[in-house]
Amino acid sequence: MRVSRGIPVQAEAPVALTIGNFDGVHRGHQAMLARLNEAATRLDLTACVMIFEPHPREFFAPDKAPTRLTSLREKLELLAAAGVERVQVCRFNFDFARISAEDFIVHILQRGLAVRWMLVGDDFRFGARRAGDFAMLKAFSAKCGFDVEEMPGYTVNGLRVSSTAVREALASGDLGLVKRLLGRSYSISGRVVNGDKLGKKIGFPTANIQLKHNRPPLSGIFAVEVQGAVELSSLRAMRGVASLGVRPTIHEHGNPVLEAHLFDFDQEIYGRHLRVHFLHKLRNEEKYPDLITLAKQIGRDVEDTKNYFASFSSSSAS
């Protein structure tokens, strides 16, 4: 997959395009990408996705912007897995925000990207003050040389699939609903970095996984599967228990930390890139009076997680 930043002054080759933030690349996004790929193949065009970095709401109101479901790296990996051939990453700043809807169509869609076919969601808006919509694209499409289609919302069991719905399900700990909305388990990836090695001191060594943002969309103690820990076998999943939170027993005002204790595993994996899949929430994080009490609770979490996997394996076999 080719990743480009900014918009060319003049396009090299025509594309089939869809535009959005694609945070989480949920099942609604996946349906759009499948439709994009089908049209690109049929019309002999490159399947292209335009995304924005940062998210416009992060730019205008960072304190009020929704927490990200995926880092840029994770989003690009998911788009590549969905068969996208090209991603155009547009830096969202004041200059970009001031582009009128008409100029967006003429200078970006027509000249910069040579769009020949375009797919947008039913809530799509673009241009300064969000003045552009599907009706405007339709009005300009003939003279600008592209076809445009609008895709209705995607629903699962009557619930409209959206990044907001995924965030709400994650925040409530409903990982079953999250999986239905995403079509996969929710995961966070990052490199293993040095921590305070407290887990090892109390008998439960952990991998400290670097977070890209200080506002993860979920918190608590989870049963997880972790990919990337076994060298030369990045797809092999190791089972374990993970803590994602501010660790109130250790720090009064700490930043979120993701730590995973892997079962039957004792290797140095600093610098390795791991992907943590969150399968089941055990509990919310709590503050304990001392490290001895914390260690006892971690022991119970380990047993609860092993019981979860045992019951999961039993139900799968039956």
Per-residue pLDDT at 277 exceeds 50? yes
222 shares its domain with 151: no
31 shares its domain with 144: yes
Per-residue pLDDT at 14 exceeds 70? yes
Residue 202: its pLDDT value, please? 83
Token match 């609903």: residue? 177
Number of domains the chain is built from: 2
CATH of the domain at 64: 3.40.50.620
Of 107, 137, 156, the one marking the end of a domain is: 156
For the residues 228-242, what does the mean pLDDT come to? 81
For the residues 63-72, what does the mean pLDDT come to? 90
Of 136, 156, 176, the one marking the end of a domain is: 156
What does the block give as tokens for 67?
């927490």
For the residues 295-318, what does the mean pLDDT come to? 83
Of 156, 177, 207, the one marking the end of a domain is: 156
13 shares its domain with 148: yes
Q: What is the pTM of this model?
A: 0.92
Helix, strand, or coil (residue 60): helix
pLDDT digits (tens, 9 = 90+) for 185-206: 999 999 999 877 777 778 889 9
Q: Rounded to whole angstroms, how far apart are CA atoms 267 and 259?
A: 15
Mean pLDDT, the chain, whole residue set = 92
CA 42, 43, 47, 52: dihedral to nearest 10 degrees?
A: -130
The verdict on residue 167 lying in a domain is no
Q: Give the domain extent around 313.
A: 185-317
CA-wise closest residue to 277 among 207, 227, 315: 227
CATH of the domain at 262: 2.40.30.30
Q: Rounded to whole angstroms, how far apart are CA atoms 143 and 138?
A: 10
Amino acid, single-letter form, for residue 194: N
280 shares its domain with 150: no
60 shares its domain with 135: yes
Buried b (16+ CB within 10 A) or exposed e, 116-141: bbbbbbeebebbeeeebbbebbeebb
307 shares its domain with 204: yes
